[in-house]
Amino acid sequence: MLEFYLNGTPIRMDDVEPDLTVLELLRERQHLCGTKEGCASGDCGACTVVVGEVDGGSLKYRAINSCIAFAGSLQGRHLVTVEGLADGETLHPVQQALVDGHGSQCGFCTQGIVMSLFCWQLNGTDRLSAQEALAGNLCRCTGYRPILDAATMLARQAPALPAWSGSPDMMACLAAMPNDVIPAETSGYRRPEDLTSLRAAMKDWPDAHVVAGATDLGLERTQALKRLPKLIDLSRVAELAAIEEGDGYLEVGAAVVYSRLQPYLKTHFPVFAALLSRLGSEQIRQRGTLGGNLGTASPIGDTLPVLLALDAQLCLLGPDAERGMPVSDFFLGYRKTALQAGEIVARIRLPFLAPQRVCKVYKVSKRWEDDISAVLGAFSFSFEAGCFRDVRLAFGGMAATPVLAPAVAAELEGRSQDAIDWSRVEASLAASFQPMSDVRASAGYRLKVAANLLRRAVVETVQPDTATRIFDHA
């Protein structure tokens, strides 16, 4: 039994397969076809819906990609779709702004854009820019100008709440809905609330897929057509959802979604926060987690070189015990990690940078927004008396795993800008890495850019007045 609210109306559904996506649920089971499938991989935003969750006595709404979210994640939540905004023939102001501004042409992406703008306006337009809110919504017709103009207009208005927002019972009903969904012997979707029940679930179902945001696993289902009969959802495990600003560190639960992490990073690690604004899209950042990025262990996972450069410490949770590990010991090979069977990442501890430490993070991709890195460089070092010291260099996209480059760092260690021999740096990079030539970049480009990102870091440190960024941020 799956229980949730849909556009203000309670819904109970039987016979929901654990790996049914929210988009399939809407289009095939609820026959609500306003929400579209553009790619079924979380890249285009045509399927954007808004999901509300009881949090601290109110409903917090976020825009997500319904195509790669599992239906079970809706349990106890309020799903809002494009059909839920208008009041009869009277359009919601977000919809009307797009009509007035000629913001739709073919219309296929439009409802996704409506939902992204609706959520953006609902949560306060000062939280992120219209551009950030829309970076995960591809439009092939308009060139975006009329959509941005509509957003500019909406930013000046107070958000309008649809009719369902006044429903007094909805929050209480949502809060009362049980957490474990579709429980069964052979297949099911479980969403434990604490570590004890998580451990019990994992012992029950040693063959289950453990999932946080499903921004990667969802594609296994929609693209690789895998069947995922048993899913354990980490998103409500309290211990994994905590953020602690400790003495000298920030500790992040593995299931904390990026958008929740972002303000903490802005305070403590602004360059990491700037990178995060280019990781996936708003819809992805509302679901994706550091734990997921680590567990997937992709060589092009955006956050991983940063964790390496910052010397993050991981806490791994096993069936019976926890253990700590520096992130640099975590990646064993292509998508292979030090996690043992039944073990998950529980927390990530990021030590604060000492005052003299500089951290630089650079992502290079074909497209600025919502693209996967060709090369990602994350560097930390001290700059004292004109020399680089304690240099720690991490790269993504250069090897089978995100990786530190101590030999390259040695070429900078203790040197001033003038003393750096760039031919030796390049030779050291070439000796350290044999990157791939693939759809994103050639090996030669990766090597060249890796060296040039170091040049950029040096110039920015030594000659801060030299312009080096084509964008103001990240």
In the complex with other proteins, which residue's Cβ is closer, 95 or 303? 95
Burial class (CB in 10 A: 0-12, 13-18, 19+), 72: buried
468 binds other proteins (CB under 8 A): yes
Letters for 138-157 (x = contact with other proteins by CB under 8 A, - = none) are xxxxxxxxxxx---------
* Strand order through the sheet with 188-190: 188-190, 230-233, 209-211
* Alpha carbons 311 and 309: distance in angstroms, whole number: 5
367 binds other proteins (CB under 8 A): yes
- Note whether 282 binds other proteins by CB under 8 A: no
Minimum CB separation from other proteins for residue 33, in Å? 4
34 binds other proteins (CB under 8 A): yes
Residue 369 as a binder of other proteins (CB under 8 A): the answer is yes
Residue type, 172: A
CB-CB neighbours of 106 under 10 Å = 10
Residue 373, judged by CB atoms within 10 A of its CB (0-12, 13-18, 19+), counts as: buried
Q: Which range of residues in 119-127, 137-145, 290-298, 313-321 is near other proteins by CB under 8 A?
A: 137-145
- Name the residue among 133, 161, 157, 127 with its Cα closest to residue 147: 133
Looking at beta carbons only, is 22 or 201 nearer to other proteins? 22
Residues numbered 212 to 271 that lie near other proteins (CB under 8 A) are: 223, 225
Question: Cβ 58 to other proteins, closest distance in Å?
Answer: 26
Return all residues near 327 (Cβ < 8 A) that are at least 6 apart. Answer: 294, 304, 307, 308, 311, 312, 313, 314, 348
Q: Does 203 bind other proteins (CB under 8 A)?
A: no
What residues between 47 and 106 interact with other proteins by CB under 8 A? 81-83, 85-86, 91, 94-96, 98-100, 102-106
Nearer to other proteins, 73 or 222 (CB): 222
Q: Which residue has the tokens 């530190």?
A: 404
- Asked if residue 384 lies in contact with residue 377, where contact means CB atoms within 8 angstroms, the answer is no
Is 440 among the residues that bind other proteins (CB under 8 A)?
A: yes
Q: CB of residue 351 vs other proteins: minimum separation in angstroms?
A: 29
Pick from 71, 79, 80, 114: which binds other proteins (CB under 8 A)? 114
Question: Considering beta carbons, is residue 268 or 448 the nearer one to other proteins?
Answer: 448
Q: Contacting other proteins (CB under 8 A), which of 3, 43, 233, 343? A: 43
Q: Is 411 exposed, middle or buried, given 0-12, 13-18 or 19+ CB atoms closer than 10 A?
A: buried
The string of DSSP letters for 12-70 reads EESS--TT-BHHHIIIIIS---SS--S-SSSSS-TTEEEEEEEETTEEEEEEEEGGGSB
CB of 131 to other proteins, least distance (A): 5
Measuring CA to CA, how many Å separate 378 from each of 340, 405, 461?
27, 11, 14
Among 137, 235, 259, 293, binds other proteins (CB under 8 A): 137
Rank residues 91 and 410 by Cβ distance to other proteins and give the closer one.
Answer: 91
The answer to the question of residue 38 lying near other proteins (CB under 8 A) is yes
